[in-house]
Amino acid sequence: MTADAHRTLPDGRPIPLLTGEELPMLESWPAFHRATLELKCAGLDDEQARTASAEPSPLTLLGLVQHLAEVERNWFQRAFAGLDVPPVFADRTGYALDADRGLDEALTAWPREIARGRELIAGRSPEDTGRIVDGPMTGVEVSLRWVLVHLIEEYARHNGHADILHERIDGVTGV
């Protein structure tokens, strides 16, 4: 374990590894981005989490959390592990809001998906592969390395959205 493995920022987010082996370093970046999204949602009520960014976009923090739960399930369970699992929520993208589902439910489902993904990749090599299960690239082989790099990109992009959404809610910017 490297010296920076347990360091955190003042807000509690884990600092991604700065040195060390490839797989732990690749895994440390999604951990940082997941903690960033969690921080963006902290203390919000359901109404705030359902606040859309700006017309015409219906994007919300609740929708982002749901979407990223679906992303976690898709890449680790479906693509990497080859499991045939249903969507976490009714809409496979996760963006659709259900009047009966609040932020607490989404913030409970999302970490379950993260934990399951971690279980499935434990002890695996960055070179191990799975296959994309839908869309225009169905059947294309991808490595765990590619999945993790893609996950970093996905979270980084959506955390930018989360910054804008949170700013619209209460004027707070960045984290």
30-60: pLDDT as tens digits:
999 999 999 999 999 999 999 998 878 899 9
DSSP state at residue 143: E
**pTM (2 decimals)?**
0.92
Rounded mean pLDDT, 113-129: 97
pLDDT, averaged across the chain = 93
Is it true that the peptide bond before 56 is cis, omega within 30 degrees of 0?
yes
Structure tokens at 84: 């045939």
- What are the angstrom distances between the C-alpha of 169 and each of 26, 71, 124, 125? 32, 25, 41, 41
Contact in structure between 158 and 37 (CB atoms under 8 Å): yes
Q: What is the DSSP letter of 79?
A: I
Residues sharing a CB contact under 8 Å with residue 43, sequence separation 6 or more, in sequence order:
none
In angstroms, the CA 81 to CA 105 distance is 25
